[in-house]
Amino acid sequence: MASSSQVPRLKDVAAKANVSLSAASRILRGERQRFGEETCVRVLEAARELGWRRNLLVSGMQTGRTRTVGVMIPPFDSFWVDVLAGIHMVLAQADYLPITVWVGDCQEMPHFEKDEDEGFKQISRLLDRRVDGLILWPSFAVAYYDHFRELLERKVPVAVIDHEYSEDQIADSIETDEAASARAVAEHLISLGHKQIACLSSREAAWQAWAVRRRECFEQAVEDLGGAPVKSWRLNAWGTDGLEIAHEILSQSPRPTAVFAVTDHEALYLYEAAAELGIEIPRELSVVGFADLDFAANLRPALTTMRQRPREIGRRAAQLILDRLDGEMYDSPPTTIRVGADLIVRKSTGRAAE
Amino acid sequence: MASSSQVPRLKDVAAKANVSLSAASRILRGERQRFGEETCVRVLEAARELGWRRNLLVSGMQTGRTRTVGVMIPPFDSFWVDVLAGIHMVLAQADYLPITVWVGDCQEMPHFEKDEDEGFKQISRLLDRRVDGLILWPSFAVAYYDHFRELLERKVPVAVIDHEYSEDQIADSIETDEAASARAVAEHLISLGHKQIACLSSREAAWQAWAVRRRECFEQAVEDLGGAPVKSWRLNAWGTDGLEIAHEILSQSPRPTAVFAVTDHEALYLYEAAAELGIEIPRELSVVGFADLDFAANLRPALTTMRQRPREIGRRAAQLILDRLDGEMYDSPPTTIRVGADLIVRKSTGRAAE
DNA sequence: CGGGAACGTTCAACTAGTTTAACAGCGGAA
DNA sequence: TTCCGCTGTTAAACTAGTTGAACGTTCCCG
d(CA A211, CA A181): 12
Type and span of the H or E element at A185? helix A178-191
- The proportion of chain A whose per-residue pLDDT surpasses 90, expressed as a percent, equals 82
Whether pLDDT at A113 is above 70: no
pLDDT of residue A143: 86
pLDDT of residue A109: 58
One-letter amino acid at A42 equals R
**Segment among A75-89, A110-124, B63-77 with least mean pLDDT:** A110-124
A85 vs B106: CB contact, 8 Å cut-off? yes
pLDDT of residue A105: 78
Q: What is the torsional sign of CA B320, B321, B322, B327?
A: positive
Of B133, B120, B151, B171, nearest to A7 by C-alpha is B151
A28 touches strand C (CB under 7 A): yes
Mean pLDDT by 10 residues, chain B (354 residues): 66 96 96 91 96 97 97 95 96 97 76 74 95 94 87 93 84 96 98 97 94 97 97 94 97 97 97 97 98 94 98 98 86 92 98 84
d(CA A37, CA B329): 47
DSSP H stretches of helix in chain B? 10-17, 21-29, 37-50, 56-63, 78-93, 116-128, 138-143, 148-153, 178-191, 209-224, 242-250, 264-277, 310-325
A295 vs B295: CB contact, 8 Å cut-off? yes
Of A304, A48, A315, A55, nearest to A192 by C-alpha is A304
One-letter amino acid at B193 equals G
Which residues in chain B are closer than 8 Å to A154, comparing Cβ atoms? 7
Can you tell me whether residue B258 is helix, strand or coil? Answer: strand
Q: Which of residues 30-69 of B touch strand D (CB under 7 A)?
A: 52, 54-55, 58-59, 61-62
- The alpha carbon of residue B54 is apart from the nearest alpha carbon of chain A, in Å, by 6
d(CA B105, CA B41): 51
B81 vs A97: CB contact, 8 Å cut-off? no
A150 vs B51: CB contact, 8 Å cut-off? yes
Integer angstrom CA distances of residue A206 from A102, A169, B270, B306: 18, 16, 43, 38
pLDDT of residue B4: 42
Integer angstrom CA distances of residue B284 from B198, B258, B281, B353: 14, 9, 6, 6
Which residues in chain A are closer than 8 Å to B53, comparing Cβ atoms? 124, 127-128
Range A131-140 average pLDDT: 94
Which residues in chain A are closer than 8 Å to B303, comparing Cβ atoms? none
How large is the angle between the packed helices B37-50 and B21-29, nearest 10 degrees?
90
- The count of other CB atoms within 10 Å of the CB of residue B338 is 17
A225 touches strand C (CB under 7 A): no
A128 vs B88: CB contact, 8 Å cut-off? no
Among B62, B93, B106, B293, pick the best mutation site for testing chain A contact (most A Cβ within 10 A).
B106
pLDDT of residue A112: 63
Bridge pairing between strands A304-307 and A342-344: antiparallel
d(CA B74, CA B102): 5
B153 vs A55: CB contact, 8 Å cut-off? no
Range A213-229 average pLDDT: 97
A336 touches strand C (CB under 7 A): no
d(CA A77, CA A109): 9
Chain A and chain B share a number of CB contacts under 8 A equal to 114
One-letter amino acid at A37 equals E
B61 vs A66: CB contact, 8 Å cut-off? no
Residues A349 and A305 sit within 8 Å (Cβ to Cβ): no
B124 vs A68: CB contact, 8 Å cut-off? no
Can you tell me whether residue A291 is helix, strand or coil? Answer: strand
Residues A218 and A186 sit within 8 Å (Cβ to Cβ): yes
| Strand D nucleotides in reach of protein CB atoms, 7 A cut-off | 6-12, 14-21
d(CA B47, CA B27): 11
- The alpha carbon of residue A69 is apart from the nearest alpha carbon of chain B, in Å, by 11
- The alpha carbon of residue A221 is apart from the nearest alpha carbon of chain B, in Å, by 33
* Per-residue buried b or exposed e for A215-246, using 16+ beta carbons within 10 Å of the residue's own CB: bbbbbebbeeeebeebebbbbeeebebbeebb
- DSSP for B317-337 reads HHHHHHHHHTSTTTTPPP-EE
pLDDT of residue A187: 98
pLDDT of residue A2: 35
Bridge pairing between strands B342-344 and B304-307: antiparallel
Residues B294 and A268 sit within 8 Å (Cβ to Cβ): no
Compute the mean pLDDT over every residue in chain A, rounded to the nearest whole number: 93
Higher model confidence: residue A106 or residue B234? B234
Query: Tens of pLDDT along A272-327?
Result: 999 999 999 999 999 999 999 999 999 999 999 999 999 999 999 999 999 999 87
Query: Tens of pLDDT along A22-55?
Result: 999 999 999 888 899 999 999 999 999 999 999 9
Residue with smallest Cα–C1' gap to D15: A62
Range A122-128 average pLDDT: 95
The spacing between the Cα labelled CA in B10 and the C1' in D15, in angstroms, equals 13
Q: Would you mind telling me the total number of residues written for chain A in this entry?
A: 354
In this structure, what are the phi and psi dihedrals at residue A223, rounded to the nearest 5 degrees? -65, -45
A55 vs B64: CB contact, 8 Å cut-off? no
The spacing between the Cα labelled CA in A11 and the C1' in C25, in angstroms, equals 24
- The alpha carbon of residue A258 is apart from the nearest alpha carbon of chain B, in Å, by 23
Q: Confidence class of residue A194 from pLDDT cuts 50, 70 and 90?
A: very high
B155 touches strand C (CB under 7 A): no
The spacing between the Cα labelled CA in B169 and the C1' in C15, in angstroms, equals 34
Residue with smallest Cα–C1' gap to C16: A58
Task: Give the global pTM.
Answer: 0.95
B36 touches strand C (CB under 7 A): yes
Say which nucleotide is closest to residue B20, CA to C1' distance. C9
The spacing between the Cα labelled CA in A189 and the C1' in D30, in angstroms, equals 97
Of B114, B172, B158, nearest to B139 by C-alpha is B114
pLDDT of residue A3: 38
